[in-house]
């Protein structure tokens, strides 16, 4: 038994890469290619595979360590030379990407044909068209995406098998397509014809799939078959190797996960058998036709390097210098599922994760990704679902527009009964509608009513009219109400409060800012007068006039409408004996003011004509109790009825 020091392989020049997992322990017997450690670069989470089979005798690293190429991982006691796990004829297992195999069938071939088509590549069966990416008149090149298909495993870009000008699109969304179905007719100006037509030679000798052992080809080598990267891949990085030497795989089993700039994709086996060699490693860059694994037990194929006769492209000679990869004739991608290259740019997830999400009814766009480079992992989907369940159990957070579980309103055809005109709501109207609905649903509000005797207040106000005119100020009952409310808010602090964001605390405010609901041409706006308690009547009148004008001129800034503690909504100038205002959250109370009227009031001896102002006070019963309201309201009414009390 020889002993070998295992070191960190080439990790693309990255340095100080963090070890996030140690997958083996001292004493473990490991297979070649088995993961030893997992490291995380800025680009990917990478498994570092064991270079040979053997027994781990020492581990030098811990989770959290930072490593670079050449750093010692541990010691391995093996049966033979760990540095040469592959047969001598194949000395270069690692740098697969540097030696692309001859992509025989995929290469365009010069032709004089002026008409051609692009077809669905091999390996696709009964996949649904979910997007058609080309239109008549488009000029496409070979490899351009012509459609997006959905298989049971992935969302798949269909690359053009030929370039040219699209003269007819033969597919529609919803169609079910299989290999060789025509996607579009093309006008080819002396360019490429469809590969299938132009390269008949290799097609005549496809690599048989595993079920055909009775048809041996040229070689009797024990390497019976290879599984290759399917059509369409170009320089895609291996981010996971899912098989190890000795594994028995079935056709269609996932061998590796590749990462393109568009998606993470799984590479399925195009043959069954026992894995005799894994020809790729994490970090390799693979393209179509690259060998992923060698298999034993499948039908054999020619063992010679890609014969020039079988792939007669002048531009792409078989790379004889790369024996590790050129052991087979151009594999034709027979039986390979062309499932690479998800078009979905919104989310970044592999096919298995997509399937998992679809099974659970999860929209991946809603899922927070925690994988490398923002890739959504299966655990992310599971965590998303767990959180949803937790939230639902805790009472849910239904959208306000959903009616919080209330059955939706039925749709009506008003025009059935006569002429109608439909006018779109303004932005402000829509916002108000949404806020009102939200506040209505969230706040358990109670409205209490009372009348304030404003006979004296009105006498006082009228007495100030001349002075107001001199000052250029319109003096309505509103500034008096502002002053009175400020005093009441200071007296009853529960009204000058908000429910805490946690829903379990109350925030008391030391400032007194009061909003005025103003009817404007674009809808209801609520400018806020700040520090009402610190301002005199004239100042309040001036500021109210100015803010109301600003609101009606559409000139309010966001800060003009923020920071309110309480709102006054006055319909006094318009009429009505009372209404129930909706609390303007996060405030906890709102005063509705209706039209003052002379009423006969019993003074203990007789009925007296008094000017009575109807008031309605709505409050959030989560923060304010009826008794609190009683105190606040009584005080407010007393101050309005006798403004001299404001001096007390």
What's the chain's Rg over C-alpha atoms? 39
Question: Site map for ligand COA, 547-586, x if CB under 6 A?
Answer: -x--------------------xxxxx-------x-----
Cα atoms in the 13 Å half-sphere on the side-chain side of 525: 27
For residue 486, what is the DSSP state? Answer: H
3-state secondary structure of 604: coil
- The pair of structure tokens assigned to 285 is 């860059």
**Smaller CB distance to ligand COA: residue 176 or 549?**
549
Please identify which residue in 322, 468, 556, 593 interacts with ligand COA, judged by CB under 6 A.
593
**E runs forming strands in 484-573:** 497-499, 506-508, 514-520, 523-525, 528-529, 566-570
For residue 283, what is the DSSP state? Answer: T
Nearest distance in Å: CB 442, ligand COA:
18
- The pair of structure tokens assigned to 635 is 């005080």
Residue nearest to ligand COA (CB): 572
Q: Which of residues 469-508 bind ligand COA (CB under 6 A)?
A: 476-478
Residues in the chain: 648
Nearest distance in Å: CB 465, ligand COA:
8
**Smaller CB distance to ligand COA: residue 66 or 549?**
549
Terminal-residue alpha carbon distance, the chain? 100
Outline where 190-229 has alpha helix (H).
195-198, 200-203
Q: Which of 336, 306, 299, 337 has its CA nearest to residue 201?
A: 306
Element (H, E) at 480: helix 478-491
Q: Which of residues 599-628 bind ligand COA (CB under 6 A)?
A: 613
**Smaller CB distance to ligand COA: residue 386 or 462?**
462
User: Segment contacting ligand COA (CB under 6 A): 82-90, 92-100, 269-277, 588-596?
Assistant: 588-596
CB 121 within 8 A of CB 160: no
**Smaller CB distance to ligand COA: residue 247 or 519?**
519
Q: Which residues face 175 on adjacent strands?
A: none
Q: Which of 372, 374, 376 has its CA nearest to residue 43?
A: 372
Cα atoms in the 13 Å half-sphere on the side-chain side of 547: 25
**Smaller CB distance to ligand COA: residue 154 or 482?**
482
Q: Could you tell me which residues come within 8 angstroms of residue 550 by beta carbon, excluding any fewer than 6 positions away?
A: 527, 556, 560
Nearest distance in Å: CB 586, ligand COA:
18
Q: Could you tell me which residues come within 8 angstroms of residue 399 by beta carbon, excluding any fewer than 6 positions away?
A: none
Please identify which residue in 38, 182, 334, 524 interacts with ligand COA, judged by CB under 6 A.
524
**E runs forming strands in 188-272:** 225-228, 236-241, 248-249, 254-259, 264-268
Nearest distance in Å: CB 592, ligand COA:
7
Nearest distance in Å: CB 521, ligand COA:
11
**Smaller CB distance to ligand COA: residue 52 or 541?**
541
Nearest distance in Å: CB 359, ligand COA:
48
Nearest distance in Å: CB 517, ligand COA:
4
**Smaller CB distance to ligand COA: residue 368 or 465?**
465
In Å, how far are 13, 17, 21, 36, 318 from 42, measured between CA atoms? 12, 8, 16, 20, 35
Please identify which residue in 127, 596, 636, 643 interacts with ligand COA, judged by CB under 6 A.
596
Please identify which residue in 516, 525, 624, 643 interacts with ligand COA, judged by CB under 6 A.
516
Active site positions, annotated: 621
Tell whether residue 518 is a contact of ligand COA (CB under 6 A): yes
Cα 156 to chain centroid, rounded: 20
**Smaller CB distance to ligand COA: residue 8 or 473?**
473
Nearest distance in Å: CB 611, ligand COA:
9
**Smaller CB distance to ligand COA: residue 543 or 628?**
543
Size of the site for ligand COA (CB under 6 A): 19
For residues 406 and 581, give the distance between their C-alpha atoms in angstroms, rounded to a whole number.
22
CB 69 within 8 A of CB 8: yes
In Å, how far are 437, 585, 587, 642 from 618, measured between CA atoms? 16, 12, 11, 23
User: Segment contacting ligand COA (CB under 6 A): 31-39, 215-223, 287-295, 510-518?
Assistant: 510-518
3-state secondary structure of 467: helix
Nearest distance in Å: CB 636, ligand COA:
14
CB 380 within 8 A of CB 371: yes
For residues 452 and 470, give the distance between their C-alpha atoms in angstroms, rounded to a whole number.
29
Nearest distance in Å: CB 466, ligand COA:
13
User: Segment contacting ligand COA (CB under 6 A): 194-202, 296-304, 318-326, 512-520?
Assistant: 512-520
**Smaller CB distance to ligand COA: residue 431 or 524?**
524
**Smaller CB distance to ligand COA: residue 179 or 449?**
449
Nearest distance in Å: CB 458, ligand COA:
9
User: Segment contacting ligand COA (CB under 6 A): 56-64, 287-295, 441-449, 589-597?
Assistant: 589-597
ω before 586 within 30° of 0 (cis)? yes
User: Segment contacting ligand COA (CB under 6 A): 145-153, 166-174, 515-523, 598-606?
Assistant: 515-523
- The pair of structure tokens assigned to 522 is 């674009």
Q: What are phi and psi of 615, to 5 degrees?
A: -125, 145
Residues found near ligand COA in the complex (CB under 6 A): 476-478, 516-519, 524, 548, 569-573, 581, 593, 595-596, 613
């Amino acid at each position: 038994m020889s002993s070998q020091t295992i070191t960190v392989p080439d990790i693309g020049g990255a340095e100080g890469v963090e070890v996030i997992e140690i997958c083996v322990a001292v004493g473990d017997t490991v297979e070649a290619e088995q993961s030893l450690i997992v490291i995380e670069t800025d680009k990917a989470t990478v498994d570092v595979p064991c270079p040979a089979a053997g027994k781990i005798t020492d581990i030098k690293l811990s989770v959290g360590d930072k490593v670079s190429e050449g750093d010692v991982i541990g010691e391995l006691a093996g049966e033979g030379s760990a540095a040469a796990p592959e047969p001598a004829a194949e000395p270069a297992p690692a740098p697969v990407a540097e030696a692309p195999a001859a992509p025989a069938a995929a290469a365009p071939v010069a032709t004089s044909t002026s008409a051609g088509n692009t077809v669905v590549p091999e390996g696709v069966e009964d996949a649904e068209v979910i997007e058609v990416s080309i239109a008549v008149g488009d000029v496409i090149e070979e490899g351009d995406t012509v459609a997006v298909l959905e298989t049971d495993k992935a969302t798949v870009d269909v690359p053009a098998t030929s370039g040219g000008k699209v003269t007819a699109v033969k597919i529609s969304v919803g169609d079910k397509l299989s290999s060789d179905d025509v996607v579009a007719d093309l006008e080819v100006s002396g360019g490429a014809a469809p590969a299938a037509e132009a390269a008949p030679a290799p097609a005549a000798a496809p690599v048989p799939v595993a079920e055909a052992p009775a048809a041996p080809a040229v070689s009797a080598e024990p390497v019976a078959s290879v599984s290759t990267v399917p059509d369409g891949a170009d320089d895609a990085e291996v981010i996971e190797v899912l098989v190890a030497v000795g594994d028995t795989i079935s056709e269609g089993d996932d061998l590796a996960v590749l990462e393109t700039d568009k998606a993470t994709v799984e590479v399925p086996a195009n043959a069954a058998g026992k894995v005799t060699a894994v020809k790729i490693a994490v970090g390799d860059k693979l393209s179509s036709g690259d060998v992923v694994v060698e298999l034993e037990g499948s039908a054999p194929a020619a063992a010679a390097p890609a014969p020039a006769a079988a792939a007669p492209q002048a531009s792409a000679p078989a790379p004889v210098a790369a024996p590790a990869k050129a052991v087979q004739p151009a594999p034709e991608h027979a039986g390979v599922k062309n499932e690479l290259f998800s078009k979905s740019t919104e989310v970044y997830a592999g096919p298995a994760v997509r399937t998992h999400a679809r099974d659970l009814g999860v929209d991946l766009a809603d899922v927070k990704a925690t994988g490398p480079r923002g890739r959504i992992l299966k655990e992310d989907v599971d965590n998303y679902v767990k959180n949803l369940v937790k939230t639902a159990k805790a009472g849910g957070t239904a959208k306000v527009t959903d009616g919080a579980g209330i059955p939706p309103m039925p749709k009506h055809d008003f025009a059935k009964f006569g002429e109608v005109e439909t006018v779109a709501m303004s932005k402000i109207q829509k916002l108000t509608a949404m806020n009102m609905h939200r506040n209505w649903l969230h706040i358990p509000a109670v409205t209490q009513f009372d009348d304030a005797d404003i006979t004296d207040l009105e006498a006082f106000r009228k007495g100030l009219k001349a002075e107001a005119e001199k000052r250029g100020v319109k003096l309505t009952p509103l500034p008096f109400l502002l002053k009175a409310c400020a005093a009441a808010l200071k007296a009853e602090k529960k009204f000058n409060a908000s429910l805490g964001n946690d829903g379990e605390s109350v925030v008391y405010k030391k400032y007194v800012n009061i909003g005025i609901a103003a009817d404007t041409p674009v809808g209801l706006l609520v400018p806020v007068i700040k520090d009402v308690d610190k301002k005199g009547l004239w100042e309040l009148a001036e500021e109210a006039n100015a803010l109301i004008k600003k609101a009606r001129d559409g000139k309010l800034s966001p800060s003009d409408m923020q920071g309110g503690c309480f709102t006054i909504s006055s319909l006094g100038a318009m009429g009505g004996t009372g209404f129930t205002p909706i609390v303007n959250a996060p405030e906890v109370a709102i005063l509705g003011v209706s039209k003052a009227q002379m009423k006969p009031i019993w003074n203990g001896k007789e009925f007296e004509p008094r000017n009575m102002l109807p008031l309605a006070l709505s409050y959030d019963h989560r923060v304010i109790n009826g008794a609190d309201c009683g105190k606040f309201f009584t005080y407010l009414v007393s101050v309005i009825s006798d403004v001299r009390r404001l001096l007390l």
